[in-house]
Amino acid sequence: MTFSAPIPPPNKKCLTTIRFIIVAFTLQLLSTLPCLSTATTYSNKYKNNNYYCAIHNRQGRQPRHYHTSSFLFFRPKHQKFTWSASLDRKTGIASSIETSCTPLPSLSIPTTPKSSSSSSNTNNKSSLAYITSTLLSQYVSFLTKPSVTFGLFTTTHIYKKKEEKMMIGTSLQDVLFGISFLNFGNPRMVVNHDDYPPQKEDCAAAASVEIPIIGGLLAIMPSLKNKEVTKNIPTEEEEAIEECGCIRLTIQQQSSSSNTNNDSVLNIQTEIVNEYHPLLVGSTLPIPILRKWVYRLTQSIIHAYVMWRFHDYCVREYCNMMMMHGTQHEL
């Protein structure tokens, strides 16, 4: 079965850029395989030396005290990272889920200063929601780091109307030809959804944020597939932005099962949801078996590598933001 409006094949310039980026990512992935195998090693019975938390200040205080001149740094040593990807040949919809579990030092979840009249549980969740939204909003800029993508990508803002200058998202473009590989909308908080993991009794707080995919070379828009129902992102104007999938980030901090020195475990989950159809598999249904394996051996592996690096980035930034908040709150 073929659609009445087939997608035109990319030109030679696009194919050259895609081949170059795939080769670069493959070399980077092969060079980090030993580190990846080390990062997936995790022990449930961990001690204080399983993480490294360095807080340096002039007065030489213990980590429980903070100073305005403190240098905060957290680097996880034992992090369990797992990922899985699938592609439905009947619909062409791709999905991916990545999870990581990292032991943390004994840090309390910060409260929101503005909501002093609310309960502590509500404050904890709102603060974690703010941290989660902040981390996911940095995802597109994280993709442009030279240590992640060799400086091959840059970002530009997307505006709904040039006259009004209303920014609706960010475009990820290559620095060689300026081709938009993926366009992302503004992050949004998720209140309830079916795939949300149920909170446990020992869970301190949890938050989930989504960043929609609104176009780009690596995605097929629903309008090009002649779909009757499309998912839209509501905006302030009457018009709506067409969505072709989204990336969901869920952060959950819970007490450790070992109860060692009141340490906790940080669970991070990223996934691709809302019917993402990659351009690499084409528009012909069912998806040919060759295209399916090409996708799983190229774009799927590159996505897993990027998410592995992003999880490590989120853990470090999460702890640093919590420590900084504790410093300001105590002073």
User: Higher model confidence: residue 173 or residue 196?
Assistant: 173
Q: Show the domain range for 189.
A: 12-30+80-330
Say if CB 302 and CB 25 are below 8 A apart.
yes
CA distance 122 to 112: 9
Q: Is 215 left (phi over 0), alpha (psi -120 to 50) or beta?
A: left
Q: How many CB atoms lie within 10 A of CB 42?
A: 16
Residue 65 included in any domain: no
Residue 146 has pLDDT above 80, yes or no: yes
For residue 253, which amino acid is it? Answer: Q
Residue 321 included in any domain: yes
Residue 252 included in any domain: yes
Q: Give the DSSP per-residue string, 62-127.
A: -TTS--TT-EEEEEESS-EEEEEEEE-TTT--EEEEEEEEEEE-S-PPPPPTT-TTS-HHHHHHHH
Span 32-43, average pLDDT: 39
User: How many domains does the chain fold into?
Assistant: 1
CA distance 115 to 126: 9
Sequence-distant (6+) residues with CB within 8 A of 9 are none
CA distance 70 to 260: 26
Model confidence at 175, pLDDT cuts 50, 70, 90, reads very high
Model confidence at 183, pLDDT cuts 50, 70, 90, reads very high
Residue 219 has pLDDT above 60, yes or no: yes
Model confidence at 31, pLDDT cuts 50, 70, 90, reads low
* pLDDT, position 283: 80
* pLDDT, position 319: 83
Span 299-305, average pLDDT: 92
Residue 1 has pLDDT above 80, yes or no: no
Q: Which residues pair with 73 in a beta bridge?
A: 54
Model confidence at 66, pLDDT cuts 50, 70, 90, reads very low
Residue 66 included in any domain: no
CA distance 259 to 273: 34
| Single pTM value for the model | 0.69
* pLDDT, position 29: 60
User: Higher model confidence: residue 245 or residue 19?
Assistant: 245
Residue 327 has pLDDT above 50, yes or no: no
Residue 2 included in any domain: no
Q: Of 13-27, 89-103, 237-251, 300-314, which gets the smallest average pLDDT?
A: 13-27
Residue 47 included in any domain: no
Joined tokens for residue 6: 């087939």
Residue 166 included in any domain: yes
Q: Of 44-53, 162-171, 209-218, which gets the smallest average pLDDT?
A: 44-53
User: Higher model confidence: residue 28 or residue 307?
Assistant: 307
Residue 61 included in any domain: no
* Each residue's pLDDT tens digit, 228-250: 444 444 444 435 678 889 999 99
